Chains A and B, each alone.
Chain A
Amino acid sequence: MAAVSAVWQRHSRGQKLARTVLWLLVAAAVAASLKGIDVIWEFLWDAPEQVADMAWRMWPPDLAYYPQEVHKALMETFHIATVGTIFSMLFALPLAILAAHNLTPNKALNLFAKTCLVASRSVNSLVWALLFVAVFGPGPMAGTVAIAFRSIGFVGKLLGEALEEVHFGAIEALKAAGATQTSQILYGYWPAVKPAFWSIMLLRWDINIRESSVLGLVGAGGLGMIMNAAIDTFQWERVATILLTIFAVVVVVEIVVTFFRRRLI
């Protein structure tokens, strides 16, 4: 009867088999990695107690410590993030233009720019900071340059992609009016990518605030530096104050960024 053949199945037999095999592989991989990370089970069962103990030692936070040192470090963190973001912008802009194949129709230059951008992104901020602490010595200078170098790749990649998506029609019209390429960038590309550009910069600044608050762990200035000192000397009440500060800052930055981004588009 015809009704028998009217059975519908989402996956064919081959697909079902493939999916089952895939799930088994995932399960095997999870099992293998659990074995690989050498869980010390005594420590794991002990964890809730340890957390409670640490929380107890952190309480009450040493709020008097804030005006003494935390505020100064917080401002330093702000400066590292902001100046680093601005510097990254200066380098990312030309690299983004070189990476966008519609603006730079030269495969060798595209590849060069993309390699620079990937190199910047492939190194973590903390590693960049370690390198620049070695170059500039410990302090906010190393942190600022580290933030800038890590951000170039991020900003350049996203901006380059935004440039490549600019609608060709308006550019063609400017070209037909005899505009030079720089005028085309100014009047065609820039207005089109402006909202994306500011949105990318705000997002990166937001990330950089968070990243620069830990860079001090390797000596590159800011909140991380005093946090490291507090942890090393077991002053958990101070650590609590610093963590609360970071939390408050992240919330405030989030609010500020959301406020400005809404006005961009």
Chain B
Amino acid sequence: MAVVLSIKGLVKAYRPGVPVLKGIDLDFEERGLTAIIGSSGTGKSTLVRSVNRLVNPTEGSILFKGQELSRIEGKALREARRRIGMVFQEYNLVERLTVMENLLTGRLGYVGLFDAWLRRFPADDVAYAFRLLDVIGLAGFANQRADSLSGGQRQRVGIARALMQRPEILLADEPTSSLDPKTSVEIMELLKFQGIDHNIPVLVNIHDVDLARRFADRIIGMTGGTVVFDGPPEQLSDDHLKLIYGGEGWLQ
């Protein structure tokens, strides 16, 4: 399979001399769900956010389908971001807008300001939004306000919003960390199968090792800003987990 996203020598230091990411080299292929695991503060989030430049890398290169993303600005950056869908831990919906309006924000990168103001989106986009509402099991919720939804429903809307972009890659930053175990599984299923349906790679930061094992095609283990494990879930042993998280009492 072809490589669509290639990260080389990625370093991020929020404060000079204290790097959070210490030279990451990773390639991602055009399909499959990759789970990134590691303890809090180890740079998983920074890594994922570097891809769509919500975090600006200090050094290194991020090559996405032949385009270098690490240094672009302005219009080029906005156009690159349109091709990258993102799902957040706290859902990050616009609370006071309806579900439909939230989905359509996924198209804001394409619609002029005046049309956006008057809620004049192309008929295609609106039809696609209704289809996605069906897919995420929220048909009939179009005119409900986002702040009236439960956590699981909000995250579904978050995923649908990302899919509205018709993205070429889907990033998810701890998408299940605020959800109960059952809902977490449903959200992971949605991410996994939407990735397959749309034929795009999915990158998920996740705390839950069991969920990662269950859904990922590939697991990346990080500790202290470096990658210490990279392979299929079957190869992830307890020794690896000790290396990734440190200690072993929690494994029993």
Interface on A for B, CB 8 Å cutoff? 167, 169-170, 172-180, 182-183, 186-188, 191-192, 194-195
Set of chain A residues within 8 Å of B52, measured between Cβ atoms: 176
Q: Is the CB of A192 within 8 A of B95?
A: yes
Set of chain A residues within 8 Å of B82, measured between Cβ atoms: 177-178
**In the assembled complex, how far is the CB of residue A162 from the closest CB belonging to chain B, in whole angstroms?**
13
The 4 tightest CB contacts between A and B, nearest first, are: A178-B109, A178-B82, A179-B108, A169-B92
16 CB < 8 A contacts A-B: A167-B95, A169-B91, A170-B92, A173-B88, A173-B158, A174-B108, A175-B81, A177-B107, A177-B109, A178-B79, A178-B108, A179-B78, A179-B105, A179-B108, A187-B105, A194-B96
Set of chain A residues within 8 Å of B101, measured between Cβ atoms: 187
A187 and B54 in contact, given A176-B81, A177-B106, A178-B81 (Cβ under 8 angstroms): no
Q: Is the CB of A187 within 8 A of B97?
A: yes
Set of chain B residues within 8 Å of A180, measured between Cβ atoms: 78, 108, 113
Give the A-B pair count, Cβ closer than 8 A: 80
Type the 1/0 row for B70-110, where 1 means its CB is closer than 8 Å to any CB of A: 00000000111110111010111111110001000111110
Q: Is the CB of A175 within 8 A of B92?
A: no
Alpha-carbon distance A180/B162, docked complex (angstroms): 17
**Interface check B117, CB cutoff 8 A:** yes
Q: Is the CB of A173 within 8 A of B108?
A: no
Which of A178, A188, A192: most chain B Cβ within 10 A?
A178
List 14 additional A-B contacts (Cβ < 8 Å) besides A176-B54, A183-B116, A192-B94.
A170-B94, A173-B86, A173-B88, A173-B92, A173-B158, A175-B54, A176-B86, A177-B81, A178-B82, A178-B109, A186-B116, A186-B117, A188-B94, A191-B95
Set of chain B residues within 8 Å of A182, measured between Cβ atoms: 113
